[in-house]
Amino acid sequence: MKPAGWPRAILFDLDGTLVDSAPDIHAALNQTLESYGEPPLTLEAVTKMIGRGVPVLIERAYAALGIEIDPATRDRVAERYTKLYEARATELTVLMAGVSDLLRDLAAKGVRLGTVTNKPGAATRTVLEHFGLLDLMAVVVGGDAGPPRKPEPGLILHACRELGIEPGEAVFVGDSENDVLAARAAGMAVVAVAGGYTELMPEALGADRAIDRLEELPAALLALAEGDAAPDL
Ligand SMILES: O=C(O)COP(=O)(O)O
Ligand SMILES: [Mg+2]
């Protein structure tokens, strides 16, 4: 049974929230750069570039190399990166701690689950499938679904329409300021989890609740349902 007051649905960000995908994104990005004769970037540098989708990833990578690229070149590079990434999206990627048990438990309690990510949809499905999570998702919305990517609210609103729910009936869970801003703009409560791809602490992201690990999500949902004030920021 779903505990009273819990949301009808929980929508999860993917990169930095459900999976640690930075090593594969880093490898595919360096393969892409190498194919254009550019030098590699470090994992640490690339990790900080993740979160706004592929076009912004490419812009940030070239900016780090001191190169300005025009939109047409960026889109061409983004297309090559996307192909290379799709081919190796599960080589080095691992689940964040506790994800499988948490999602199975939430689904068993009758909460509908979804993924809303800036990562393109095909690679998103590949990653979820690889970890046995795709079947648990009632909706999967990738960054190329049509609406503008997070921090705009469009992808989240798209997921709500597919689920046939109002934003106020769901909770968003993410690792970055993009997730918090997107959920707020959509009118959805948001929980920020530490350990993802942002330099900000979850408490600094302005979410309704901040947690250190995904295992703390059920307690955070109960606190949200009881209307507890968020901890002092
Ligand atoms: O592809 C990205 O830039 C990050 O995607 P996310 O929305 O799952 O964090
Ligand atoms: Mg993320």
From the number of C-beta atoms within 10 Å of its C-beta (0-12, 13-18, 19+), residue 14 rates as buried
User: Is the CB of 24 within 6 Å of ligand 1?
Assistant: no
Q: What is the pLDDT of residue 131?
A: 98
Answer whether residue 200 shows pLDDT above 80.
no
Is the whole-model pTM more than 0.90?
yes
Q: Which ligand is located closest to the Cα atom of residue 115?
A: 1
Query: Which ligand 1 atom is at minimum distance from the Cα of 178?
Result: 7
Domain finish residue from 49, 70, 86? 86
Number of structural domains the chain divides into:
2
Phi first, then psi, for residue 122 (nearest 5°) are: -65, -50
The CATH number given to whatever domain includes residue 105 is 3.40.50.1000
Domain finish residue from 41, 64, 86? 86
Q: Kindly report, residue by residue over 13-69, the tens digit of the pLDDT.
A: 999 999 999 999 999 999 999 999 999 999 999 999 999 999 999 999 999 999 999
Domain finish residue from 86, 110, 130? 86
Asked if 157 and 49 sit in the same domain, the reply is no
User: Is the CB of 53 within 6 Å of ligand 1?
Assistant: yes
Asked if 179 and 221 sit in the same domain, the reply is yes
Asked if 14 and 80 sit in the same domain, the reply is no
Give the domain range for residue 30.
22-86
Q: Return the sign of the alpha-carbon dihedral for residues 50, 55, 60, 65.
A: positive
Q: Kindly report, residue by residue over 152-196, the tens digit of the pLDDT.
A: 999 999 999 999 999 999 999 999 999 999 999 999 999 999 989
